């Protein structure tokens, strides 16, 4: 349920409404002060009479039921876009934020050369996996803490903030102490213990969509992190499993405008895992920016043929530079166009 306050409502009225709600057993509030509207979201078990009780209070304009199961993640609770700040980088605003780097951290030389190359091409954040989820137990599973140390060194040398994955609740503190953004991978999007653990840290969380996760399930996973106290969540569409085997996954670009509609959280795209093929990464990166993505995460390797993981979808330095040109051109072309159509009446098609 949300309470929409009147445009001229005072701080005292807002506080009085919050106090009234929180005086009820098991109810909490979440305040969103927007440019146009102040909204008080209510979380907890709502009883039928609550709506009319709240409608009577001073300063209240409307009390509306929210039927969606996620609340804090929903646009109803928080009409303005959320911007996640990582140092000087703002994720969720007008400028697309590009995260780039190797799938796995393999060596100091590999990571540092990639970090310098992606920075020179205009990337804002360095990616690199130290703890790698792999389908086969015989594949390279990452350098672990040594990989985290190399990421910290690359940040020191380049000034780029870093994003890296955490796979277990036990590793959350270690990963968060080295990383600027903590990534939850596709396979762990519904690992609820892990979501509870990253809810306790003060670093932003990059939450990837699962291989077979619906929008609602994905937003409920974001809700876990937010309900646990961490509101800095960035969503990432990274492709879903479909019947098509040619591409590794099917990058669901409709997810981007859908998430804009359903949620206030920033949404980025991962065309590397979303396609599995290096030559599809740039076209899908440009398409994702055109649909309104707040950024991209891209795999780049000095020598993709020799990568210890995901070489087939990794870009060379030169191809990453070309991708950045494409992204800039699309952003320029779409800057003045609203990606969202005006509300229209529902037209029956049959």
- Per-residue x/- track, 202-241, ligand PEP (CB under 6 A): ------x-----------------------------x---
Q: In terms of CB distance, is 30 or 208 closer to ligand PEP? A: 208
Q: Which of residues 241-280 bind ligand PEP (CB under 6 A)?
A: 270, 273
Nearby residues of 250 by Cβ (< 8 Å), 6 or more positions away? 239, 240, 241, 242, 244, 274
B/e letters for 100-133, b = 16+ CB within 10 Å, e = fewer, are bbbbbbbeeebbbbbbbbbbebebbbbbbbbbbe
Q: In terms of CB distance, is 96 or 129 closer to Mn ion? A: 129
Specify whether the CB–CB gap between 127 and 101 falls below 8 A: yes
If phi over 0 gives left and psi between -120 and 50 gives alpha, with beta otherwise, what is residue 59? left
Judged by CB under 6 A, does residue 185 bind ligand PEP? yes
Q: In terms of CB distance, is 116 or 134 closer to Mn ion? A: 134
Judged by CB under 6 A, does residue 133 bind ligand PEP? yes
Distance CA 63, CA 311 (A): 53
Q: How far is the CB of 183 from ligand PEP (least distance, A)?
A: 6
Q: 3-class SS at 81? A: coil
Q: In terms of CB distance, is 78 or 248 closer to ligand PEP? A: 248
Q: In terms of CB distance, is 59 or 266 closer to ligand PEP? A: 266
Q: 262 phi and psi, to 5 degrees?
A: -85, -25
Specify whether the CB–CB gap between 36 and 61 falls below 8 A: no
> From ligand PEP, Mn ion, none, which one binds at residue 208 (CB under 5 to 8 Å depending on kind)?
ligand PEP
Specify whether the CB–CB gap between 231 and 207 falls below 8 A: no
Judged by CB under 6 A, does residue 147 bind ligand PEP? no
Q: How far is the CB of 260 from Mn ion (least distance, A)?
A: 26
Give DSSP secondary structure letters for 298-315. EEB-S-GGG-SS-GGGPB
> Of 70-78, 93-101, 173-181, 310-318, which segment contacts Mn ion by CB under 5 A?
310-318
Nearby residues of 27 by Cβ (< 8 Å), 6 or more positions away? 21, 42, 43, 44, 45, 46
Q: How far is the CB of 329 from ligand PEP (least distance, A)?
A: 26
Distance CA 73, CA 315 (A): 33
> Of 85-93, 179-187, 190-198, 227-235, which segment contacts ligand PEP by CB under 6 A?
179-187
> From ligand PEP, Mn ion, none, which one binds at residue 133 (CB under 5 to 8 Å depending on kind)?
ligand PEP
- Burial label for 273, CB within 10 Å (0-12, 13-18, 19+), is buried
> Of 8-16, 72-80, 182-190, 332-340, which segment contacts ligand PEP by CB under 6 A?
182-190
Strand partners, 101: 299
| Interface size with ligand PEP, residues (CB under 6 A) | 10
Q: Which of residues 56-75 bind ligand PEP (CB under 6 A)?
A: none
Q: 3-class SS at 145? A: helix
DSSP state of 344: -
Q: In terms of CB distance, is 230 or 272 closer to ligand PEP? A: 272
Judged by CB under 5 A, does residue 103 bind Mn ion? yes
Judged by CB under 6 A, does residue 141 bind ligand PEP? no
Q: How far is the CB of 222 from ligand PEP (least distance, A)?
A: 15
Q: In terms of CB distance, is 39 or 167 closer to ligand PEP? A: 167
Q: Which residues bind ligand PEP (CB under 6 A)?
A: 103, 129, 133, 185-187, 208, 238, 270, 273
Q: Which residues bind Mn ion (CB under 5 A)?
A: 103, 310
């Amino acid at each position: 349920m949300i309470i929409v306050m009147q445009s001229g409502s005072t701080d005292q009225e807002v506080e009085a409404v919050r106090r009234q709600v929180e005086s009820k057993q098991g109810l909490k509030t979440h305040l969103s002060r927007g440019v146009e509207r102040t909204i008080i979201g209510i979380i907890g078990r709502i009883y039928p009479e609550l709506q009319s009780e709240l409608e009577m209070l001073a300063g209240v304009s409307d009390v509306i039921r929210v039927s969606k199961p996620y609340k804090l993640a929903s646009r109803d609770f928080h009409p303005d876009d959320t911007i996640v700040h990582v140092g000087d980088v703002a994720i969720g605003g007008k400028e697309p934020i590009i995260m780039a780097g190797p799938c796995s951290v393999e060596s100091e030389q590999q990571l540092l050369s990639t970090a310098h190359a992606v920075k020179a091409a205009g990337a804002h954040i360095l990616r690199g996996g130290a703890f790698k989820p792999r389908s086969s137990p015989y594949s390279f599973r990452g350098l672990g803490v040594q990989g985290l140390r190399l990421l910290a060194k690359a940040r020191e040398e380049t000034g780029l903030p870093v994003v890296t994955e955490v796979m277990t609740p036990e590793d959350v503190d270690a990963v968060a102490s080295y990383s600027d953004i903590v990534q939850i991978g596709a396979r762990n999007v519904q690992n609820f213990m892990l979501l509870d653990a990253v809810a306790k840290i003060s670093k932003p969380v990059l939450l990837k969509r699962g291989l077979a996760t619906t929008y609602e399930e994905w937003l409920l996973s974001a809700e876990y992190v937010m309900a646990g106290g961490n509101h800095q969540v960035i969503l990432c569409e990274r492709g879903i499993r479909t019947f098509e085997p040619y591409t590794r996954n099917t990058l669901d670009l409709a997810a981007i405008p859908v998430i804009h509609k359903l949620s206030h959280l920033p949404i980025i795209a991962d065309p590397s895992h979303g396609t599995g093929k290096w030559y599809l990464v740039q076209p899908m990166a440009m398409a994702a920016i055109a649909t309104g993505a707040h950024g991209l995460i891209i795999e780049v390797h000095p020598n993709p043929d020799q990568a210890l993981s995901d070489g087939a979808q990794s870009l060379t330095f030169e191809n990453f530079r070309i991708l950045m040109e494409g992204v800039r051109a699309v952003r320029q072309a779409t800057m003045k166009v609203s990606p969202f159509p005006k509300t229209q009446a529902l037209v029956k098609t049959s």
